[in-house]
Amino acid sequence: MPALSALAALADPTRRTLYERLRRRSHTVGELATRLRVSQPAVSQHLKVLRDARLVTHQAEGTRRFYRATPEGLAELRRYIETLWDDVLTAYAADDPAPPARRRTP
């Protein structure tokens, strides 16, 4: 399920930081590695996980690849969470019936 891939990808603090940066603007692996003080191979591995979860994409410009966040993976995650939330609310409503009507005294 793609939504669970996105959730698992964002569970890692480094990947969350990368994703937040890529939501604001495109970056190369080198830029991200410098800003986060993480090795380029580590950044590349994190970006692969984010790409596989459909949270980021890249575009080649010459010899450089610019990575950016995409809305698709996060939209799938949102739909999944909304479904869970709807299920929780439905279960809560079923367990908590409306209070009995009050009787009027004449």
Task: Note whether residue 29 is domain-resident.
Answer: yes
Q: Considering the entire predicted model, what is its pTM?
A: 0.77
7-53: per-residue pLDDT in tens?
999 999 999 999 999 999 999 999 999 999 999 999 999 999 999 99
Task: Note whether residue 106 is domain-resident.
Answer: no
Distance, CA of 25 to chain centre = 17
Give the range of the structural domain holding residue 71, as residue numbers without chain letter: 2-92
Any idea what the CATH number is for the domain that residue 61 is in? Answer: 1.10.10.10
**Percent share of the chain, pLDDT over 90:** 62
Task: Note whether residue 52 is domain-resident.
Answer: yes
Task: Note whether residue 11 is domain-resident.
Answer: yes
90-105: per-residue pLDDT in tens?
777 777 655 555 666 5
Q: In the predicted model, what is the mean pLDDT of the chain?
A: 89
Show the tokens assigned to 6. Answer: 């996105």
Task: Note whether residue 27 is domain-resident.
Answer: yes
Domains contained in the chain, number: 1
